Amino acid sequence: MSEKTVRYGYFEGRTGTLKDLQMCVGDGWKDLIETCFNTCVKHNVHVSQVKEKFGGLRFYVGGAPQEVHDIIDECERLSYKTCELCGKPGKPREGGWIKTLCDEHAGGCDEYCTMLSDM
Ligand SMILES: [Zn+2]
């Protein structure tokens, strides 16, 4: 069986695999990307761009049914609670730019972080 692909990018005729899309953001969001990717494959939706902006996942599609938008909206919402690096529970952190990270990757020194490193 050949690898699943979606129409991807701004040029006609280009396709992307799940890996191509997952490469656009941190590893912690792999599962979120996979969920969006699968629904786009199923409905033959064109994915124009995948990126991180202001700490959240942005998964841009062209001409998709409501069902696809609902799934993408949910994944984008979840990305604000998921560390972009490791997938653990996280929240948006302000540094030079905003990233959604868990306590460990935010380099926090609160009790939760200490508890994690003791585990
Ligand atoms: Zn993390």
Over residues 10-22, the mean pLDDT reads 93
pLDDT level of residue 112 (50, 70, 90 thresholds): very low
Rounded to the nearest angstrom, the distance between the alpha carbon of 101 and the centre of ligand 1 is 5
**Contact indicator for 81, 42 with CB cutoff of 8 Å:** no
Rounded to the nearest angstrom, the distance between the alpha carbon of 96 and the centre of ligand 1 is 18
Domain carrying residue 82:
5-118
Helices in 3-82 by DSSP H: which ranges? 18-22, 30-42, 66-79
The domain tally of the chain equals: 1
Half-sphere CA count of 51, side-chain side, radius 13 A = 5
Rounded to the nearest angstrom, the distance between the alpha carbon of 31 and the centre of ligand 1 is 14
* Rounded distance between C-alpha atoms, residue 57 and residue 75, angstroms: 8
Q: Which residues surround ligand 1, an ion (CB under 5 A)?
A: 83, 85-86, 88, 102, 105
**First and final C-alpha spacing in the chain:** 42
Q: What does the pLDDT look like over 55-98, one tens digit per residue?
A: 999 999 999 999 999 999 999 999 999 999 999 999 999 888 89
Residue 116 pLDDT greater than 60, yes or no: no
Residue 105 pLDDT greater than 80, yes or no: yes
